Amino acid sequence: MIIINGAGSKLAQNFIAINYNKEIIAISRKATFNFENVRTVNLLSNEELRLFLKTIEEQEIIWINFQAIKYDELLVNTSILKMEESFNINYYKNFIAVQSLLPKMIKKRFGRFIFIDSVKAMMGDVGCAAYAISKGANRPLMQSIVCEYSRFNITCNTIAVGYAETPMLDKVSEKKRNEFLREIPGKKLVDTKDLDSVINLLIANESINGQIINLDGGLRNSG
């Protein structure tokens, strides 16, 4: 079973479209899908998420978290409320999933946690302090899972995505889009097939564990 949180994002929707024949639970605030095997669950709060995950039966579970929120503000202008909301969306969803699903994974002796992150946030960028800080909290969470639960065939990895074909890029000018492409050594935006192949590799291979995989066409190496 693949549980996808943040299923309303464009990358998540495209991933679901490719993998619709698998058993998928799509969690979002309002998204719906017309695929036979995809069960859509709309949850608004962390407590609703916790209660729902308790109902998941013990089986081979894969958790993929696409959900994220980003405020475009300088650090000095970021309010405590926006920082708290950033942690609520960008970190606590994973923390709740880990605490709720680990006991089921341990009994089944199989589990996969895959966190979707951003290369630009990891590199540092203007206006993304709350996003980068809250997303960064997932890295020690990942390492704790690896250290404590790898012996049960449970892995946790992060995919740091670079510039991707998403609605965000649809809103930028052609000039800005070309500037993004110039930053990428591979001169290609990340697409869903790129992401799908990495996710399936992480599901199949238990030796890839505790890794941050930069899916960015070499962007991180461009400085």
Q: What does the block give as tokens for 154?
A: 């449970």
- What span, in angstroms and rounded, lies between the C-alpha atoms of 191 and 177? 15
Q: Please check whether residue 122 is in contact with residue 132, taking contact to mean a CB–CB distance below 8 angstroms.
A: yes
Say which DSSP state 164 is in: B
Residue 186 lies in a domain: yes
Residue 21 lies in a domain: yes
- What span, in angstroms and rounded, lies between the C-alpha atoms of 74 and 158? 26
Residue 96 lies in a domain: yes
Full residue range of the structural domain in which residue 101 is found: 2-215
Instruction: With CA atoms as reference, report the closest residue to 3 among 201, 16, 14, 11.
Output: 16
- What span, in angstroms and rounded, lies between the C-alpha atoms of 124 and 119? 9
Q: What is the CATH number of the domain that holds 16?
A: 3.40.50.720
Q: Please check whether residue 96 is in contact with residue 55, taking contact to mean a CB–CB distance below 8 angstroms.
A: no
Residue 220 lies in a domain: no
Q: Which helix (H) or strand (E) holds 131?
A: helix 129-136
Residue 158 lies in a domain: yes
**Number of compact structural domains in the chain:** 1
- What span, in angstroms and rounded, lies between the C-alpha atoms of 123 and 120? 5
Contacts of 18 (CB under 8 A, 6+ apart): 192, 193, 196
Q: Please check whether residue 119 is in contact with residue 214, taking contact to mean a CB–CB distance below 8 angstroms.
A: yes
**pLDDT on residue 186:** 76
Residue 34 lies in a domain: yes
- What span, in angstroms and rounded, lies between the C-alpha atoms of 25 and 208? 24
Instruction: Please report, in tens digits, the pLDDT of each residue of the chain (223 residues total).
Output: 999 999 988 889 999 999 999 999 999 988 778 888 899 999 989 999 999 999 998 889 999 999 988 888 888 888 999 999 999 999 999 999 999 999 999 999 999 999 999 876 777 677 788 989 999 999 999 999 999 999 999 999 999 987 776 655 666 677 777 777 777 777 777 788 899 999 999 999 999 999 999 988 777 665 5
Residue 222 lies in a domain: no
Contacts of 5 (CB under 8 A, 6+ apart): 27, 28, 49, 63, 64, 65, 66, 67, 93, 97
Kindly give the pairing relationship between strand 61-65 and strand 111-118: parallel
* Dihedral sign for Cα atoms in the order 82, 219, 155, 67: positive
Question: What is the Cα 127 distance to its own chain's centre?
Answer: 20
**pLDDT on residue 55:** 95
pTM greater than 0.85: yes
Residue 174 lies in a domain: yes
**pLDDT on residue 195:** 92
**pLDDT on residue 223:** 54
